[in-house]
């Protein structure tokens, strides 16, 4: 199978800020192995400090492993010479939209990376226009970024990445600072890029409802992967998820509570529709 990213037994610790020679090393990643298939939509969950952002920063070589290796589209991420190739294949979007915008006009911001890469102006025009259309911000191409909402800024940041035609986009809590409308816009954009353009998506999030929309969920705790599967498989583990400081969708929790009380309802409910349907089934069955 074609993997866009392969992590093999990755260990990582940050440089100690202490001046003491024998300051203990705190391992942030403790042997993470993970394959991401081309075209997959993977959500990564974990509480603060679980290592989820740290592993994500390995995927486009912002950080390099102390031990183990990361292979991006067949290229070893530890190879300094290949840094540009890796960054072109894997783009990264961060949490704070205000920290990612550099230009004073939306379309110039989207073109920024292309200018650095020396892309031909005619092609640049086309790529910038297409990227802005993909995220639904084409009409705002001549606006100043400060006139945009948080969700719109975040979509401009995504457009800047798409313009580089990456195979994979890593988004580190892209909706954490947005309001519900902004969140919806960004999630819609991400899903569209995945389904229609075939871009591999790695979404780091605290929102369980966003994770429920992915093909696959990876849960991290203390620098290790503790769960990996479809949303239905992962959210079944209500107790374990709560133990590591995470939530499950409310409907999953409700079904879990019903089961605990001896009511027969499936343990893999993750959407509102399923929940409504199953509750009605139970009520109707009783009526007969």
Q: Which residues bind other proteins (CB under 8 A)?
A: 47-49, 95, 149-150, 173, 176-177, 179-182, 206, 209, 245-247, 249-251, 253-254, 257-258, 260-263, 272, 275-276, 279-280, 282-283, 285-287
How far is C-alpha 28 from the geometric centre of its chain's CA atoms? 19
Tokens representing 128 are: 């910038």
Q: Which is nearer to other proteins, 118 or 180 (CB)?
A: 180
Nearer to other proteins, 75 or 254 (CB): 254
Q: Is the CB of 131 or the CB of 275 nearer to other proteins?
A: 275
Q: Identify which of residues 117 and 263 has a Cβ nearer to other proteins in the complex.
A: 263
Query: Which CB, 126 or 179, lies closer to other proteins?
Result: 179
- Give CA separation, 216 vs 27, 36, 181, 227, in Å: 26, 10, 24, 10
Nearest approach in angstroms of CB 276 to other proteins is 5
Q: Residues 223, 66, 31, 236: is their CA dihedral positive or negative?
A: positive
Tell me the closest approach of the beta carbon of residue 77 to other proteins, in angstroms: 27
Least distance from other proteins to the Cβ atom of residue 215, Å: 21
| Least distance between other proteins and beta carbon 250 (Å) | 4
| Cα 285–chain centre separation | 41
Would you say 73 or 185 has its CB closer to other proteins? 185
At residue 194's C-alpha, the angle toward residues 147 and 169, to 5°, is 65
Residues 172/53, Cβ–Cβ less than 8 Å: yes
Beta bridge partners of 94: none
* 22/285 with CB nearer other proteins: 285
Q: In the chain, what are the helix, strand and coil shares in percent, each to the nearest 5? A: 45, 20, 35
Least Cβ distance, residue 257 to other proteins (angstroms):
4
Instruction: Give min distance, CB of 227 to other proteins, in A.
Output: 16
**Rounded CA separation 67/13 (Å):** 10
73, 65 Cβ separation under 8 angstroms: no
CB of 187 to other proteins, least distance (A): 12
Could you give phi then psi for residue 253, rounded to 5 degrees?
A: -65, -40
Task: Please tell me the distance from the alpha carbon of residue 192 to that of residue 218, in angstroms, as a whole number.
Answer: 21
């Amino acid at each position: 199978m074609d993997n866009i990213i392969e992590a093999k037994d990755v260990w990582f610790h940050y440089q100690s800020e202490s001046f003491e020679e024998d300051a203990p090393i705190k391992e942030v990643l403790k042997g993470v192995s993970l394959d991401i298939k081309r075209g997959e939509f993977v959500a990564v969950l974990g509480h603060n400090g679980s290592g989820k952002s740290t592993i994500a920063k390995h995927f486009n070589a912002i950080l390099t492993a102390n031990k183990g290796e990361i292979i991006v589209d067949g290229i070893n991420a530890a190879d300094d010479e290949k840094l540009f190739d890796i960054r072109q294949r894997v783009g990264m979007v961060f949490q704070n939209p205000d920290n990612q915008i550099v230009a004073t006009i939306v379309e110039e911001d989207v073109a920024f990376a292309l200018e650095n890469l020396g892309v031909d102006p005619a092609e640049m025009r086309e790529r910038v226009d297409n990227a802005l259309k993909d995220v639904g911000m084409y009409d705002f191409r001549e606006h100043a970024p400060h006139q945009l909402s948080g969700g719109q800024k975040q979509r401009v940041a995504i457009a800047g990445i798409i313009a580089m035609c990456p195979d994979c986009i890593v988004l580190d809590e892209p909706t954490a600072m947005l309001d519900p409308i902004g969140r919806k816009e960004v999630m819609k954009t991400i899903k569209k890029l995945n389904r229609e353009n075939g871009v591999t998506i790695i979404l780091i999030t605290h929102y369980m409802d966003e994770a429920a929309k992915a093909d696959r969920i990876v849960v991290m705790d203390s620098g290790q992967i503790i769960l990996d599967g479809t949303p239905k498989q992962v959210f079944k583990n209500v107790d374990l998820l709560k133990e590591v400081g995470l939530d499950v969708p409310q409907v999953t929790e409700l079904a879990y509570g019903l089961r605990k009380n001896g009511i027969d309802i499936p343990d893999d409910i993750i959407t509102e529709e399923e929940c409504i349907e199953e509750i009605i089934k139970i009520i109707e069955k009783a009526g007969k």
